């Protein structure tokens, strides 16, 4: 996958910007605060339609403006023009000027993997952030996943509503609760299967990547889910707890409680690992993800390395570069060009950012 060009209108600190990129390496450099991360954030947004650093799309619109537009020409199996527009009403996406109404038809086309300096915060966040990571990555490779996920979430809302109904109205039917519970298990099991397969596939690579780039140790991801059982067992568990759920008015079990744990030498890295080890574990996950996407899609994702020099020592960065092939279009941001090897700079497109404008060198 290759991003040939990018056009921004009123995105973050950029009023207007048009850029063309190199197929292999692109280096974006400039002082702190000039807009380097904003630029790669726009690339991510063009692919995923979400930012990697804010959940509030309003932040993406340039101060004082009412909308932002990100456009880019992307080569996958074919070459197409992608477009994301964000305004007060929400978000619209287009491919070759056609409005795409189903998000799942848009977000599975372009895959982008980002490595950021503060990845270890994922361990401090709630399980929902880790589920979001799974969801975003699986959506990027399996078109139908988002549809199943939406079905599950819709049904979950209905079930919660009905639990409250049962609390208020003692005569309401338990048979109906059985029916929606079975249906929830049906949808949830599908999500479980996708997540399980994704984690199994990541585990094929993650330990090797960790050892190659960072340090010795066996790294693996463990998937914790209420649905790691037969459908009968799951159903019986619900039945046993109907009264508890009715009292609370919430579905207490299901894939909306899933979580993942990173194990380093079989121990939970969150409780035992250093900050550096935690960060490296996420980086190893992302490097494994690159391979997985290649296997699924037959081409490598676009890779963004945001400010890696502030996160890793030179030896580890050299190790990462060694793993990358020329077939991976890569965007690197840095404040300090001197930190990058001359042989890399020679074959790269170097873009210098000066306060909301970009100078090509
Ligand atoms: N919605 C917005 N409108 C206008 N400016 C914005 C908006 N959002 C962020 N900015 C500005 O963008 C700048 C930050 O850009 P960015 O994070 O890309 O910097 P950077 O070059 O990556 O810096 P660093 O080297 O410190 O990581 C800040 O000056 C911030 O005020
Ligand atoms: Mg930055």
Give residue 190's domain range: 126-298
Residue pair 245/260 in contact (Cβ under 8 Å)? The answer is: no
pLDDT at 258: 98
Atom 17 in ligand 1: residue holding the nearest Cα: 37
Q: Specify if 116 maps to a domain.
A: no
Domain at 133, CATH number: 1.20.1050.90
Q: Strand 302-306 relative to strand 267-268: parallel, antiparallel, unpaired?
A: unpaired
Rounded-to-integer distance, Cα 251 and Cα 253, Å: 6
pLDDT at 235: 98
Same domain for 51 and 142: no
Same domain for 308 and 280: no
Rounded-to-integer distance, Cα 18 and Cα 150, Å: 36
Residue pair 174/125 in contact (Cβ under 8 Å)? The answer is: no
Rounded-to-integer distance, Cα 268 and Cα 176, Å: 41
Same domain for 274 and 146: yes
Domain boundary residue, one of 298, 313, 347:
298
299: tokens are: 């081409």
Q: Specify if 120 maps to a domain.
A: no
**Is any atom of ligand 1 closer than 6 Å to the C-beta of 56?**
no
pLDDT at 339: 87
Q: Specify if 118 maps to a domain.
A: no
**Is any atom of ligand 1 closer than 6 Å to the C-beta of 107?**
no
Same domain for 315 and 294: no
Mutate to test the pocket of ligand 1, among 8, 9, 11, 13 (most ligand atoms within 8 A of CB): 13
Atom 15 in ligand 1: residue holding the nearest Cα: 35
Same domain for 132 and 164: yes
**What pTM does this model have?**
0.95
Q: Specify if 121 maps to a domain.
A: no
Residue pair 76/70 in contact (Cβ under 8 Å)? The answer is: no
Domain boundary residue, one of 278, 298, 318:
298
Render pLDDT for 35-58 as a digit per residue (tens, 0 to 9).
999 999 999 999 999 999 999 999
H/E segment holding residue 194? helix 174-213
Mutate to test the pocket of ligand 1, among 9, 15, 38 (most ligand atoms within 8 A of CB): 38
Same domain for 331 and 254: no
Mutate to test the pocket of ligand 1, among 35, 40, 44, 337 (most ligand atoms within 8 A of CB): 35
pLDDT at 172: 81
pLDDT at 14: 97
Same domain for 144 and 278: yes
Q: Strand 330-334 relative to strand 357-360: parallel, antiparallel, unpaired?
A: unpaired
pLDDT at 3: 98
Atom 25 in ligand 1: residue holding the nearest Cα: 32
Same domain for 324 and 283: no
Same domain for 219 and 141: yes
Task: Give the residues of the chain that fall short of pLDDT 70.
Answer: none
Q: Specify if 235 maps to a domain.
A: yes
Rounded-to-integer distance, Cα 150 and Cα 143, Å: 12
Domain at 331, CATH number: 3.40.50.300
Same domain for 144 and 66: no
Same domain for 154 and 7: no
**Is any atom of ligand 1 closer than 6 Å to the C-beta of 330?**
no
Domain boundary residue, one of 298, 313, 334:
298
Q: Specify if 119 maps to a domain.
A: no
Atom 14 in ligand 1: residue holding the nearest Cα: 33
Same domain for 163 and 52: no
E strand spans, 96-135: 98-99, 112-115
How many domains in the chain?
A: 2
Q: Specify if 326 maps to a domain.
A: yes
For ligand 1, what atom is nearest to the CA of residue 353?
A: 21
- In angstroms, what is the span from residue 66 Cα to ligand 1's centroid? 18
Q: Specify if 117 maps to a domain.
A: no
Atom 9 in ligand 1: residue holding the nearest Cα: 12
């Amino acid at each position: 996958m290759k991003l040939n060009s990018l056009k921004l209108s009123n995105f973050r600190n950029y009023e207007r910007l048009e850029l063309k990129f190199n197929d292999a390496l692109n280096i974006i450099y400039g002082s702190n605060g000039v807009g380097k991360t904003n630029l790669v954030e726009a690339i991510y947004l063009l692919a995923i339609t979400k930012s990697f650093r804010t959940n509030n799309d309003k932040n993406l619109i340039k101060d004082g403006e009412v909308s932002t537009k990100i456009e880019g020409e992307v080569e996958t199996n074919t070459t197409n023009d992608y477009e994301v527009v964000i305004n007060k009403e929400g978000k619209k996406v287009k491919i070759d000027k056609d409005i795409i109404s189903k998000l799942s038809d848009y977000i599975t086309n372009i895959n982008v993997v980002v490595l950021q300096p503060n990845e270890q915060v994922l361990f401090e966040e709630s399980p929902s952030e880790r589920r979001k990571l799974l969801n975003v990555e699986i959506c990027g490779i399996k078109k139908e996943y988002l549809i199943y996920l939406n079905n599950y979430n819709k049904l979950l809302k209905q079930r919660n509503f009905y639990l409250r109904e049962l609390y208020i109205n003692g005569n309401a039917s338990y048979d109906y609760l059985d029916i929606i519970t079975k249906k929830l298990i049906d949808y949830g099991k599908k999500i479980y299967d996708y997540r399980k397969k994704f984690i199994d596939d990541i585990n094929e690579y993650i330990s090797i990547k960790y050892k190659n780039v960072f340090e010795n140790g066996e790294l693996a991801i463990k998937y914790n889910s209420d649905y790691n059982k037969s459908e009968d067992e799951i159903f019986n568990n619900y039945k046993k707890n109907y009264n508890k759920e009715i009292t609370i008015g919430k579905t207490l079990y299901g894939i909306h409680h899933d979580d993942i744990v990173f194990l380093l030498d079989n121990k939970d890295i969150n409780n035992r690992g250093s900050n550096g080890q935690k960060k490296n574990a996420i980086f190893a996950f992302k490097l494994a993800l690159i391979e997985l996407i290649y296997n699924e899609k037959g081409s490598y994702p676009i890779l963004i390395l945001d400010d890696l020099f502030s996160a890793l020592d030179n030896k580890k960065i050299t190790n990462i570069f060694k793993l990358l092939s020329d077939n991976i279009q890569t965007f690197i941001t840095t404040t300090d060009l001197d930190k990058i090897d001359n042989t890399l700079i020679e074959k790269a497109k170097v873009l210098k950012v000066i306060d909301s404008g970009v100078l090509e060198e």
